[in-house]
Amino acid sequence: MDGGPTWSNRNTRSLGEVYAGEELEVKYIVSEKKEDKGYGILAIDFEISMVRDKKLVIVSHKNLYRIKRLSPGSHS
């Protein structure tokens, strides 16, 4: 589930330079989800582009986020 098999199991690739102050646009999708012992695990894919010319600068696949499940009625 972690990393891209065609990327030697790495998650993120930088495709261009970005400098401080540049405006960026992020597109993301939950590409996979599963449950594990009271936790939910989400795999998130995202792309980051520069606003001014829409040039893609970062691509990332299957970044994992582990989130503790709350019991029903719990608001903590």
Q: Is residue 34 in some structural domain?
A: yes
Domain count, the chain: 1
Q: What letter does residue 11 receive in the DSSP assignment? A: -
Q: Is residue 76 in some structural domain?
A: no
| pLDDT (0 to 100) of residue 24 | 97
pTM as predicted: 0.69
Q: Is residue 74 in some structural domain?
A: no
Domain CATH for 57: 3.10.129.10
Q: Is residue 48 in some structural domain?
A: yes
**Given CA atoms 20, 10, 27, 55 in this order, what sign does their dihedral have?**
positive
| pLDDT (0 to 100) of residue 6 | 66
Q: Is residue 9 in some structural domain?
A: yes
Q: Are 65 and 3 in contact (CB under 8 A)?
A: no
pLDDT of 17 above 60: yes
| Domain extent at residue 36 | 5-68
Bridging pattern class, strands 24-36 and 39-50? antiparallel
Query: What does residue 5 show for φ and ψ, rounded to 5 degrees?
Result: -60, -30
- The two three-digit tokens of residue 15, written as one number: 């495709």
| pLDDT (0 to 100) of residue 46 | 94
pLDDT band at 71 (very low <50, low <70, confident <90, very high): confident
Residue pLDDT, tens place only, 28-67? 999 999 988 889 999 999 999 999 999 999 999 888 889 9
